[in-house]
Amino acid sequence: MNPRSVLFVCLGNICRSPVAEGVFRHALSKRIGEQAALAWKIDSAGTSAYHAGKSPDPRSQASARLHGVDLSKQRSRAFEVADFNAFEHILVMDSANHVNVCALAKHPEEKDRVQLILEASFPGHNKPVPDPYYGGDQGFESVYQLLAQASEDWLDQWL
């Protein structure tokens, strides 16, 4: 397994986890440099395949772009069982994602590697990243802020 690998997971892989992927890669590059960051395996996926093949939601792309993060090359895909072998850390957005990912685990050790992404920022609070899909633009900005802080907090732990 790649020792430097992280997968971000939400429901549709068009709103929250694409932002998580983009902002994490951006934060990592700032800390260790773009070249060194390329050695990390960073991806995102959805627990559903509803939006497979689609670009991130335009509202997610717009809010990330305001902060200098380009999500335009990312495409939605469904989480698959093989992801347990491919990624050391599996960071989910909410408890429903947690239940759905863990339901696919074949070994207890795999479930141990599935964590709520906001656990690094708010340990023990079971705090979700709210789904902004049915809301307004402000929801996307607040998702961005939560995920930018979470990236810094995970990197503090991992680097």
Name the minimum Å distance from CB 16 to ligand 4NP: 3
Nearer CB in complex with ligand 4NP: 32/96: 96
* Sole binder of ligand 4NP in the list 21, 43, 83, 131 (CB under 6 A): 131
Through-space distance between the first and last CA atoms of the chain, rounded to whole angstroms = 18
16 carries an active-site annotation: yes
CB 100 within 8 Å of CB 83: no
- Give residue for tokens 């995970």: 154
Residue 11 binds to ligand 4NP (criterion: CB under 6 A): yes
The two three-digit tokens of residue 84, written as one number = 């347990």
Residue 27 binds to ligand 4NP (criterion: CB under 6 A): no
- Give residue for tokens 């429903």: 96
How many residues would you count in the chain? Answer: 159
Name the minimum Å distance from CB 34 to ligand 4NP: 27
Name the minimum Å distance from CB 8 to ligand 4NP: 10
Residue 50 binds to ligand 4NP (criterion: CB under 6 A): yes
CB 8 within 8 Å of CB 117: yes
The two three-digit tokens of residue 123, written as one number = 């340990």
The two three-digit tokens of residue 11, written as one number = 């429901």
10 carries an active-site annotation: yes
Query: Contact residues for ligand 4NP (CB under 6 A)?
Result: 10-16, 50, 131, 133
Residues identified as active-site = 10, 16, 131
